[in-house]
Structure 1
Amino acid sequence: MANDKNSGKSSLPLGYVALWILSVAFGVVVILIGQPALILVSIFAIVASFFAYILRDPDAVAPSRAEIRAAKVAAREKARQEQEAAENKAREDAERKAKADQAAREAQAKAAAEKEAAEKEAAEKKAAEKKAAEKKAAEKEAAEKEAAEKEAAEKEAAEKEAAEKEAAEKEAAEKEAAEKEAAEKEAARIAAAEAARVAQAKADREARLKAEAQRMAQIAEQQEHENAVVEDAGTQADDDEEIEALTEEDRIALKRLHERYSGKEGAFLEFVVSLYAKNGYTTNSLNKKENYALLDSPDNGPSVILRAKPYAEKYRAGQNLIRRLADDRKKTNVQMAVFVATSLFGRIATEKSKVRKIDLVDGRALLTMIRELED
């Protein structure tokens, strides 16, 4: 090997030759351009490369053919070994992969088996649950059917009992109704007989009262006539003229008033008081026994004593009643006195009223008051 290294058969490295040539060329160029200082760089490069060439490793620079062949053999062996190692590794990897695949297949098969077993178990469980549910539903249906049949039987029995009860109640009600109808007919017969008796008695009583009222009216009318004749003697001609001055309508209205309140002085007094009330007067007191009323005038006016008496058209209020009203005014201590009648007033009564300051409201004035309030 050493002989081969020193035999001169080795070639000079082209890199060093090229470096030397470049260094020399660089030195020539720097001289030509007038830069001799840069020649040192060229010299340094040549020297350094020379020493590097001397100190180089001849084996590394120029190996022998034997070494090259050995290296090739070693390389082929190494390649073979590497190929064998790769093949071994591939086989090992294939074996490992086969084992892994086998393990995966076994695991997959095991998982499939476990899944199948679980599915089978779940199916069996579901089937059992379904069977149990069907059994429970069947039992429930049977129980509901039995309960429905029992309820229907109870309902039928209750309806039958209710029908029997209703029939019995209807029969009892019809019997009671018949008895009640008979009792009502008997009571109606008795009531009719009693009503007829009472009606007859009432009619007899009313007839007696009517006759008595007519008799009393005649007596009162006669008394009024006598009083008028005594108190107003000598004024009959003037009164007749005043009577002729009344219209037919006024005569009829006054006649109806007299007929309505004849013998009922208290009722007539109340009627007149109601007329004054519509004009704003308020009733302080009403004395039916003495036949007068005390009224309060509207707007705090003077108090009024009022007397009212129904007369037939041909009779007049006399001076005695005027005097009595004046005495009642003094006794009750009021400021004003009013006398209302359904007929006209006599001459003497009119004169006395002026002296005693008593306001007179005759039939014509009364009709005017009534008509104004009706309007």
Structure 2
Amino acid sequence: MTEPSEATAAADPSDPGSPAESSTAATGLRSVTTRATLAGVGVSLLLIVAIVLGSRMLRTFDSALLPYAVATVFLAFGVAYRYTVWISAPGARRLFKQGWRSLFSMENFRKAPTALPKMIATYLGFQKFLGARSHARWAAHQLIFWGCVLAALITFPLTWGWFTFTSGTGSGPGYEMRIWGFKILGFDSLNLLGWLMFHGLDIAAVLVIPGASYFLWRRMKDRGAATGQRFAYDLVPLIALIVISVTGLLLTFSSIFLHGGGYQFLAILHMVSVVFTLIYIPFGKFFHIVQRPAAVGMQLFKYTARENDEVFLCRRCQEPVDTGPYVENLRGTMRDLTLDFDSWAEYCPRCKRVLRGSAYLSHVKKGFK
């Protein structure tokens, strides 16, 4: 039998090191990058159009907030780009499809109409799964979460010119809150409602500072947290949140107690920290904020399967492993990744350890006799 020629071997796509496979991988990567770039550009353009229309053709757009608005456009591009790349991976793609299928399933809604609101409240809002790890971590995460949500709800509409405060006298105390040019309510800036309206970002900062400080302290002191941590990935987000919050509070302090002393410097420092953080979000640890809602769909997928008693039992000990559809979804993901041991998903963690130990005794240790 003759040996295959070099040309034949090079063109064999089954050869993992062949140029054919490398070319296929490169083509796939270019395709994903192209789709992600187009998605990012499309979302960015939609946001620009929304800013123009929502600010009534820029009539209510504050030019002093232009750097923040530009940063949000970059944020939109980055989130769309990274999300498209993420769901292009086999595991994430299956998670994404199954999650959305569960969310829009009328059968699921009929069987468990309150399941989705309950999961949104407990999994996204109050994040009860964190409480099982540590009550202190849960409390700190809640402070950061609600502080950032409050800040986003105030900052983004103001930055885009959607949300404005106007006064008939130009200096108050009576103000009108308008959204897209339509009056929502009028209030007196000297009463409690007015104080809350004008100090919402200060309240958000007061919530974020202790939460971020706790996690920063924990990463400095806890050996488990410090092991393997990276400065840019783990510490920079916390430092950025603290800098944003502190400089925001200092702006209020300067305007009230220092008659504007140092306000310009603080405003620039605050702007730089906010712009940096917005651009950082899609490509750092904060990206899990965007990923987390997709997990709600998967939780709903597992919940509805449990409601239908579709529990999969371990092939060895007959103990429950997970829901049947979830195990099959996991096996499908492993097959997509060309992992030839997808049947292991049908065993519980304890039995996997036992089987690995038995295989070691039979096939590895046996060679030392």
Q: What's the TM-score, normalizing by structure 2? A: 0.25
Larger Rg: 1
Question: Relative contact order: is structure 1 or structure 2 higher (C-alpha 8 Å, sep ≥ 6)?
Answer: 2
Q: What's the TM-score, normalizing by structure 1? A: 0.25
